[in-house]
Amino acid sequence: MSPAQHYVEHYRTLALPGRHLPWLRRLREEAQSRFSEAGFPSPREEEWKYTNVSALEKKLFVPSVGTPTAVADTSALARLRLEDAWSLVFVDGIYSAEHSVTDGLPEGVIATSLANALERYPDRIEGLFNQAVPQDAHGFIAFTIAYFRDGAFVHLPPGKILDKPLQVIHFSTRPDGLSVARNLVALEQNAEATVVETYAGTGDLSYLTASVTEISVGENAGLEHYKLQSETVKGYHFGGIYAREARSARFRQHHLAFGGLLARTEIHAHLGLGAECELDGLFLATGRRHLDTQTLIHHRAPCGTSRETYRGIAADRARGVFSGRIVVHPDAQKTDAEMSNRNLLLSEDAEIDSKPQLEIHADDVKCAHGVTVGQLDPEAVFYLESRGVDEPTARNMLTFAFANEMVEKIRPSSLNRLVQDELLSSLPQSDIRKDWL
């Protein structure tokens, strides 16, 4: 049985949400047949050249059946929680009301599970679902359409402002488990929110999480969106964040990746007239991890501004991939786009492939990009050693410093602390004392 057939079999018996909606049934069937034919993407596809997911095909992950599992290791979940935030928690891909906190949301704001929203607001979902993903979607996206069990649905009516972050936690607890999620975040005009997606799992379980988030930022609305990918050391992760920005919208995305054995996140943004987009990101790949980030910014209308700042670190035998593509369409005059990507290799066996691509089809634009891949400065290491700091600690201090400039861009303070902790515990030889903090 091929892996695709395996999943088709498994899901035949599962009650997937939204069966009563013809438009969704049709989408699911189409996606299912596409996935059955093509399976997961292969390295022959240009955009998957550096990330070979064939290992996934040898493993057969199993979706959880029935009601949400109780989280046995509540401390692992508690550690990820932001203080003073609303939350939607998904355990093994299924919404857990028990672990979620949604009371006190402003009037008219919806934050619930997609399964629930498909019952209550099917028309609204129909207008948003699958609108932001790329049309020539690859196997993972088809997979999520065909088999999503749940996901977050967040909707802000015009002018509504969330004064606290809303955290969406996807937490995996089952060996060889499979979680497939579709999340929708929609801000109507002039609305503002901070949304934090967090992905993690228990212990060192192996599992697969595939989660696609579609974002719609309305006219003059502002979304600050964070993603912390902290999957287990044997976890597989595919994530996609696809955003559409209306006129004068502001979208700020910050992607922080420390976990997973094989993890990829795609971040796409489509900018309307005068829209602003800021993409920041940091990955730290240790051990034998493979962390891949693919960004794509489409300037589709005039006067858009994009700023992209990514940093990557690879240690041990790990591999990092960064692809940053910016497309300025013919109508997008007066576009102002900058991209910078700095990478740090901490060992001879580590590898980082960085691929910036500018495609400019308009003439009156400002575009700049810069990429570096380097090592720790031996002069700086010696300077610290000459002050009594041993070499591993000196290297950690310098690595932390390099990464921390990205952590400092995180505005919610509780998330800032959480990410700093993740970073420190992910550093090579993280057991050494951090008495310099």
Rule CB under 8 A: which residues touch another protein?
377-380, 382-391, 393-394, 397-398, 400-402, 404-405, 435-437
Structure tokens at 436: 């310099």
228 or 344: whose CB is closer to another protein?
344
12 or 387: whose CB is closer to another protein?
387
What is the rounded CA–CA span in Å between residue 391 and residue 399?
A: 12
Q: 373 forms bridges with which residues in the sheet?
A: 343
211 or 343: whose CB is closer to another protein?
343
37 or 382: whose CB is closer to another protein?
382
Q: How far is the CB of 427 from another protein (least distance, A)?
A: 14
Structure tokens at 83: 């203080």
For residue 267, which of 205, 322, 207, 194 has the smallest C-alpha distance?
322
Burial, 390: exposed, middle or buried (Cβ in 10 Å; 0-12, 13-18, 19+)? exposed
Q: How far is the CB of 391 from another protein (least distance, A)?
A: 7
374 or 436: whose CB is closer to another protein?
436
Q: How far is the CB of 316 from another protein (least distance, A)?
A: 22
Q: How far is the CB of 132 from another protein (least distance, A)?
A: 35
Cβ within 8 Å of residue 299, ≥6 positions away:
271, 306, 326, 327, 328, 329, 332, 335, 337, 362, 365
Q: How far is the CB of 309 from another protein (least distance, A)?
A: 14
Which segments of 13-109 does DSSP mark as H helices, in order? 22-38, 54-58, 74-80
Q: How far is the CB of 351 from another protein (least distance, A)?
A: 24
For residue 171, which of 78, 103, 57 has the smallest C-alpha distance?
78
Pairing between strand 152-156 and 110-113?
antiparallel
42 or 420: whose CB is closer to another protein?
420
